[in-house]
Structure 1
Amino acid sequence: MKRLLLILASLMLLAPAAPAYAAGTLTWTADDGITAYKSAPTTATAGATTIVFENSAATGNTTGMPHTLTFDTSTEGYNHDVSLNILANPFDAGNGRHEATVTLTPGRYRYFCSIPGHSTMVGEFVVTDGPGPDPDTTPPTVTAAAAGTQDADGNYVGTATVTVTAADNTGGSGVKTVEYSLDGGAFQAYTAPVAVTAAGSHTFRSRATDNAGNVSAVGSLSFAVVAPAPDEDTTPPTVNHTVAGTRDTDGNYVGSATATLTATDDDSGVDRVEYSLDGAAFTAYTAPVVVSTAGMHMLHYRATDKAGNTSAEKMAHFTVVPAEEPDTTPPTVVAEVDGEENENGAYVGRATVTVTANDTESDVATIQYALDAGAWLAYAQPVVVTGLGAHTVRARATDTAGNTSPEQTVTFTVVGTGSDACEVPDTRTTVIIGGDDTGVPNSDTGDGCTINDLIDEYASYPNHAAFVRHVETVTAALVAGGTLTKRQQGTIVRAAARSDIGSLVR
């Protein structure tokens, strides 16, 4: 894995140039964990800033686990004027430590690790106005506040969690380090809220140093922790999230994403769950949150039990992309007639109808046709019409999305070839197919041809089904012309179906 991962950093400043403030430094660190950065800043001062990202053996990475420091440039509610993406691991060319120079503007920035599986490595920091170009001689300010369940005397029951906040709004060089000391102990680096559980009185001191070397006055906070009563609930609820929806190959949610929050509390029970979407105010969670706006989203959430204990705030981030519009456009259908025409435009002997269909969105699923008053049939090849007289062929198509085209219609007339149409007509008394006597009179159909002549049982057909379709077509035209009744047509078609004309075994 050594030397195989390279730093990927792209810097793109979109906003107008900011005033020339004193340069500051913001440092992020990471280790073997994949749930959170080891340390990260919470505040900064506007202006030119050196971003330091260290994911090395010195920061606790002993396995070569890679991480990125990526600035969010799309989620609403955050500044989007800095594009930063640094990939680091202990074995890269920088041994896991990398720097980049950016210009920060007042507001909030969101950052995250873009490596799959590291989705909870997310945070944000606040940037305040810079002081201007003058040298920074003013120390930062530091405050500490305790939180937790308190009794009637103001003592913290079970645990007091102390949060330190440092700012360098006047000097402008930016906070470099924050330290704390508990009960007279040595000062140590402050990276996260400190939970104090030992019963008794405590003194919590804190201080901050800015990038110009100015050290704040030491702040002091006094408080007391008392042991909880045996049945007293001092444990906050557990709260988690799931995000569901249809996802594309990049893991984005297509059309919408549904975030579901669940909370449990084994002691006093859950009182309420709250959430904040894309920087909005926290609101009560009562049902899954459906997000359909395209873009990247950040969901903050927390839960409070009936004893007043509130869980640590958690976050989830996801991206929604637009869904494709459904196909509501039917196919287009064209029916064309071909054959030998006489001087009146009638087709001599036979007409061939070809149907084509096209669909620009989905695929064409089926094509159907109907001859004269006949039923709809599947279209598989051009339809040959030999029955004398006027004919109508209707055609339609359906695509794979279920859209059916309007019917397309062609009309034409088929005529015989004169007195030579049937030089040796079949003059059998009744219609006979393959030796099967239908009992239907073998009437003259015009131009010296009989029904047996038009059926033409001794012609060549590609298969038995083609012969039956030919008989259906011929008899349908004779029904339309009054030569046959519908009942007589049925008798003839059934005889054709019983025969083996057109089959290979005949």
Structure 2
Amino acid sequence: MSPRLIALLLTAFLAVLVPATPAAAAPVQTLTWTGNNSTTEYASAPTGARPGETTIVFENSEATGNTTGMSHTLTFDTTTPGYNHDVSLNILANPFDAQDGRHEAVVTLTPGKYRYYCTIPGHTAMVGEFVVSDGTGDTTPPVVTASVTGERDSSGNYVGSATVSLSATDAGSGVASVEYQLDGGSWTAYPAPVVVSAAGTHMLHYRARDVAGNQSEEGMAHFTVVARPGDTTAPSVSAAITGTQDTAGNYLDVATARITATDAGSGVASVEYQLDGGAWTAYTAPVAVTAAGAHMLHYRATDVAGNVSPEGMAHFTVVRSDTTAPVVSASVAGTQDGDGNYVGKATVTVTASDAGSGVALVQYKVDGGTWTAYAAPVPVSSAGPHTVGYRARDVAGNASAEGSVAFTVVAGGDTTAPSVALQVTGKQDGGWNYVGSATVTVTAADAESGVGFVEYKVDGAAWTRYAAPVVVTALGAHTVRARATDVAGNVSAELPGSFTVVAAPPPPDACPVSDTRETVVIGGIDSQVANVDTGNGCTINDVIDETAEYASHDRFVKHVKAVTQELVANGVLSTGDRNRIVTAAIESGVGGGGLATADGGKRKASARA
């Protein structure tokens, strides 16, 4: 299975963790986080925002500097004291997922401070915070500065390229946005340093706005870029086509084109590609081709000095490994009257399966509305007749036929969803990790029609009916979600939780100075039974303890019989091995007037009580 397909399936599951809330009006602002190859910090993140409905953008792609295919999450902290806990956000992004690493969610922010972090193991140093302010009392605009860096000639011109970095601060409500305008073009949001490689004189204007709406004066950076002298050699460019191939060399379901360009002179300025005779397009990330059929990819590169490489060409064929559409169905639940109408609310559950490439997308529409991605059962509460359509598509691109269910909702009944609570318990270490196992307990309550059933899912598993506390023993980080449905069909919001299970430390060695002879030897008599560890660091010879003091030989033999019987019960010894050890004890003469030593001799011993 290719990395892109794995990321697609993983993201399709985790996308339900962050359902976007439909908005009556456009969000008041957009906040953007980006990720790259770092495991210690986000590539960029906001520091301030205004309250209200907000579009959260998290992009972790090659365009933002992630060249290794590394996954990151953007997760809002909902437990640490001192921060706002009213936004549940957990976005997983990978450069090869279905959105090419760029995801959006709509949330509502309130005044205060939010903390965010990455939940991927080993990435926990990726953490930060931002302040949401209504701007009351702040009338001072932000301070914004620019610096231009790069190799310079004796006249102060930048050779090959110039990089402009912007920095903004605001001691009041906080910086909300930074923008720049290059050579009279449009104003553009500033996410990262701007590289200017075109030869000539350039003018870059910049400005910033704080959360209170105060805008700084426009700043300006003026500089000249000249071509690197002496570079007349075009870049070297190549392409690699990857993916799963059949015996004929065709690519199954998807072929990914990666283009690489190098230039030892002035450096690569741009890379472009053309697919199947289409327009030339800037290459910024691997190109995934999923359309079945033969394809032709042309590519070229241009260096800073303006030298253009000859066009390269790659041809390949994509075929579908899966030609069967998914199976999709829907069911309607809720309280019905004598005529079969649903009282107060009907809940539509859509289920899809695909035995081939797997389900990629499930959609529904209510009463002829727009198609919407299906993430959870759909409640319909408005009185009157309704039709809910549904369809599904698999990873190979096969689409099911559209299905529909029709029903009527009448006024009255229970329209309030149940409440659900989730608790994780177990023995914890100093880092709040659960040692050996964690127990997940889910409870639900409904004051009207009553709880119908409770469901949970752990990590990537399917939704499962909850009957008893769930014990999780697998080591590592885990996520759990729970929801409840009442008898009237109302479904609660999904409740998330996360925890980590670590291995229990080994028990202390009960016999730090142990008898490690290869076989069980008693008073010089070798039983020929392996002298194994009994499970706590003590060997069988240690447990028999032939050098201790015993009142008589008979007392010693009884001791050996007792301890070996316990070892049989614990699975350490077989019955036959036990008999050989007891026989050796009988023949040893240990106990009584003296204790046998390893060489068969005797030593004086006082009576053992």
Q: TM-score, normalised by structure 1?
A: 0.38
Larger RCO (CA under 8 A, 6+ residues apart): 1
Rg larger in structure: 1
Q: TM-score, normalised by structure 2?
A: 0.33
